[in-house]
Amino acid sequence: MANMEIRKVQRSGGSSLIVSLPKKWVDATNIQKNDAVGLIIQSDGTLLLTPNTTGVQLQRKKIFMVDAGTDRSLILREMVGAYITGYTEIVIRSRHRLPADIIEQVRNFTVMSIGQEIVMETDTEITVKDLLNPTEMPIENTLRRMAVIATKMSEDATTALRDHNSSLAASVIERDGDVDRLQWLVARQVNLIFSDVNLSRRMDIPVATASGYIQIAKIIERIADHATKIARNAIELTDIGIENGICESIQRAERDAMAIFRAAMEAFHSGDLEKANTTIGHTDNLEERCREVSSLALSFDAAHAIHFVYIADSLRRMGDYSADICEHTINHIVGSHP
């Protein structure tokens, strides 16, 4: 963390107050005499100084050098990392011809990410640019879309179990990638806001609010992960006869879990403190539903019973994560009101 520089405010002329700029900052930004700078008053009383007065999004380039020995899994993770941290241009470069498996990973990356397109390709270099305007993808809308997908995944996973439908379960597993892509997009947009004060202003999202969006997106992604786990367990149970009402019990628990999740997201988007608090209390009923499922699982042989127990645990965890959304909402509301 940078040290704070203390400077005295001085008077110039009759009523003007001035303060000198730190030399390190002047040198780093190449500010010259008579150049214009932007001053933005923050809600907490601080004053933000920026050399970017045009409001144009800052452009950042990341170059990765590769060769025949480059780990293809690592280069994919590095590209995802560059995307999430806000680089607007990613260049994959080699001193010789680009290996075929690296080219394939670059194409995989553009499919996995949102707004990333190959704009230039030669034998030795591929350039990927961000073609998405962050202001055209409101973060709250992305969170809503993530929540809709996760909710449908959960419903379909328990339906697949009831109907012995392995194709539907496989579809749930595949959709987990859609939630991951959107979670990366939220993380990217928040990191762009952190690094570009003008973008924060244009999107009307304070930095403190933006940091909470990453937390909510991660929670939704984890709920989708548990829907995926339910689908995987459903596939393991496809070929056995399921009696004793356990499917009905699981579906009741799933409906309770998703009702809590929907209420938590409604409280978050509306900033409803009372709703958030009330929703947390509903997790007790879900806990009872999940214990009922685990109890019914005891009538199956151990190899099958364990899958039902895993399903019950995933449903309980969904409720816990929804409660985390409510707690974040309460903390944010309390913290933003003096």
Identify the CATH number of the domain in which residue 93 sits. Answer: 3.30.110.20
- Residues 114 and 263 reside in one and the same domain: no
- Residues 328 and 183 reside in one and the same domain: yes
Q: What is the pLDDT of residue 205?
A: 80
Cα Rg of the chain (Å, integer): 25
- Residues 91 and 225 reside in one and the same domain: no
Contact present, 230 and 314 (Cβ < 8 Å): yes
- Residues 208 and 313 reside in one and the same domain: yes
Strand partners, 10: 18
Identify the CATH number of the domain in which residue 36 sits. Answer: 2.10.260
Contact present, 261 and 322 (Cβ < 8 Å): yes
Averages of pLDDT over each 10 residues, the chain, 338 residues: 70 74 75 72 65 64 94 96 94 95 96 95 96 87 97 97 95 97 94 78 78 94 98 93 86 97 97 96 94 93 94 97 97 80
Strand partners, 47: 41
> Residue 13 has which token pair?
């002329």
Pairing of strands 89-94, 61-66: parallel
In angstroms, the CA 110 to CA 115 distance is 8
- Residues 238 and 326 reside in one and the same domain: yes
In angstroms, the CA 129 to CA 106 distance is 12
Question: Can you tell me whether residue 74 is helix, strand or coil?
Answer: helix
143 within a domain of the structure (yes/no): yes
What's phi and psi for 201, nearest 5 deg? -70, -45
Q: What is the pLDDT of residue 256?
A: 97
328 within a domain of the structure (yes/no): yes
Identify the CATH number of the domain in which residue 258 sits. Answer: 1.20.58.220
Q: What is the pLDDT of residue 255?
A: 97
155 within a domain of the structure (yes/no): yes
2 within a domain of the structure (yes/no): no
The pTM of the full predicted model, rounded to 2 decimals, is 0.83
Contact present, 155 and 230 (Cβ < 8 Å): no
Beta-carbon contacts of residue 99 (< 8 Å; ≥ 6 apart): 66, 67, 68, 70
In angstroms, the CA 264 to CA 210 distance is 18
94 within a domain of the structure (yes/no): yes
Q: Which domain holds residue 25?
A: 10-50
Q: Which of 132, 152, 178 is the last residue of a domain?
A: 132
- Residues 158 and 305 reside in one and the same domain: yes
- Residues 90 and 185 reside in one and the same domain: no
Q: What is the pLDDT of residue 27?
A: 74
Contact present, 128 and 89 (Cβ < 8 Å): yes
**Number of folded domains that form the chain:** 3
- Residues 71 and 175 reside in one and the same domain: no
- Residues 128 and 168 reside in one and the same domain: no
In angstroms, the CA 54 to CA 37 distance is 10
- Residues 143 and 124 reside in one and the same domain: no
